[in-house]
Amino acid sequence: MGTYAQNTSVSSELSRLEIEKTLIRYGATGFAYATETGRAMIGFKLQGRQVRFILPLPDINADDFRFTPARRTRRSEKAQFDAWEQECRRCWRALLLVVKAKLEAIETGISTFDSEFMANIVLPGGQTVGDWMEPQIEQAYLTGRVPAMLPMLEAGA
């Protein structure tokens, strides 16, 4: 678990709403939200791109929530839920921080939209640039070679 916003009292719902309001303030024309056990998704349209963030959420049954950190004694169901909910709130605040920082970097001219959101830009097939690139980056480091962008045009192929 992280430490940023670890004691926040802002609900997950209010953080999600603040993310949406922030995106709208910076020009987003669409916003989507979904959740399932263990993760949440926010998506939006901005600067002609579709962007998606997957926010990992903690497992309520993890030992971090079932037991106290200091003495490792079993928590009551309510205490377990409260600890889990606190971590969910912290995660949403961290996502808000990331989104705000990226948007401000773009607004200030420190970076560009595509540079800041590249890994989260949704490609026409539905996967993100990050989903598409991560295996290729791993392969490049394992082999010491950059994968060909257009393998069918390689010399001798």
pLDDT digits (tens, 9 = 90+) for 31-56: 999 999 999 999 999 999 999 999 99
- Dihedral angle computed from the Cα positions of residues 30, 35, 39 and 44, in that order, rounded to the nearest 10 degrees: 0
Q: How many residues does the chain have?
A: 157
Place of tokens 């989903």: 131
Sheet holding 39-46, edge to edge: 30-36, 39-46, 49-56
**Domain parsing of the chain, residue ranges:** 12-146
Instruction: Average the pLDDT over 17-38 and give the result.
Output: 95
Instruction: Average the pLDDT over 4-22 and give the result.
Output: 95
Q: Are 99 and 22 in contact (CB under 8 A)?
A: yes
Closest residue by Cα to residue 100 from 20, 40, 6, 13: 20
pLDDT bucket at 155, cuts 50 / 70 / 90:
low
pLDDT digits (tens, 9 = 90+) for 54-105: 999 999 999 999 999 887 899 999 999 999 999 999 999 999 999 999 999 9
Question: Reduced to 3 DSSP states, what percent helix, strand and coil does the chain have, rounded to the nearest 5?
Answer: 50, 20, 35
Closest residue by Cα to residue 112 from 68, 58, 49, 56: 49
